[in-house]
């Protein structure tokens, strides 16, 4: 039924747009996902979302303990339309519930922070399994809860006096490298067929004019 709905909605976009969707979907991945913890500057969060779209990262997990994510349209440039975002903001400790949910989905939690047992970005082994890369708040970085829940720690090598990158720069550097690495290694990084259908349906619903009415028409014809 879902495949038929996708086909039905696809008839309401141009051939070029449909072909572009299919082309981009071939490079989409859930093998790497991004977790943003309490990012409070909208331009930083928006720049990370834009990088996720550019490097084919489909799923974004937003933890809102003290700060709510706000998207700057001028920075994000519409990238949120193409991403699948999950927000965690209903519990006392949203960080722990978010990370444990990701662990249950088979992700290893990788915190971006210098640590005693950290690994440099270029030595990170993408072949060990799916990874959720956690980026912390601008001032203090990842929380103590992330440090407790993390399976691994990732560090970007630096050679100057300054001790850290801006979060949007960190995310871009990490994601560019990992997006390249998963395509070099023998890992199943591409979306499964059900995932392709789900994401394409999401994109069609967000771009087709009067998509809800068209969907209702589809189901009416099926009755």
Binding residue numbers for S-adenosyl-L-methionine? 112, 156
Distance (Å, whole) CA 47 – CA 33: 16
Residue of 77, 65, 59 whose CA lies nearest to 136: 65
Q: Specify whether the backbone of 153 is left (phi greater than 0), alpha (psi in -120 to 50) or beta.
A: beta
Binding residues, by number, are 112, 156
Q: What is the 3-state secondary structure (H, E, C) of 11-71?
A: CCCCHHHHHHHHHHHCCCECCEEEEEECCCCHHHHHHHHHHHHHCCECEEEEECCCCCCCC
Residue of 165, 191, 162 whose CA lies nearest to 27: 191
Is 62 in contact with 88 (CB distance < 8 Å)? yes
How many residues can be counted in the chain? Answer: 223
Residue of 47, 102, 107, 44 whose CA lies nearest to 80: 47
- Radius of gyration for the alpha carbons in the chain, expressed in angstroms and rounded: 19
Q: What would the two tokens of residue 206 be?
A: 């967000």
């Amino acid at each position: 039924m879902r495949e038929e709905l996708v086909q039905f909605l696809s008839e309401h976009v141009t051939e070029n747009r449909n072909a572009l969707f299919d082309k981009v979907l071939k490079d989409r991945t859930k093998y790497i996902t991004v977790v943003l913890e309490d990012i409070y500057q909208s331009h930083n969060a928006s720049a990370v979302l834009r990088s996720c779209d550019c490097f084919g990262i489909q799923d974004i997990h937003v933890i809102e303990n003290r700060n709510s994510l706000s998207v700057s349209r001028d920075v994000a440039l519409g990238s949120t339309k193409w991403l699948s975002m999950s927000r965690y903001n209903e519990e006392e400790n949203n960080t722990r519930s978010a990370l444990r949910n990701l662990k249950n989905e088979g992700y290893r939690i990788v915190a971006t922070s210098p640590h005693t047992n950290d690994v440099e970005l270029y030595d990170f082994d993408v072949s060990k399994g799916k990874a959720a890369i956690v980026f912390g708040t601008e001032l203090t970085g990842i929380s103590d809860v992330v440090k407790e829940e993390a399976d691994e720690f990732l560090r970007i090598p630096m050679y100057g006096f300054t001790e850290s990158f801006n979060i949007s720069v960190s995310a871009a550097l990490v994601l560019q490298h990992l997006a390249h690495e998963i395509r070099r290694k023998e890992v199943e990084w591409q979306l499964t067929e059900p995932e392709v259908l789900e994401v394409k349906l999401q994109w069609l619903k967000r771009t087709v004019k009067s998509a809800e009415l068209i969907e209702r028409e589809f189901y009416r014809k099926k009755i």
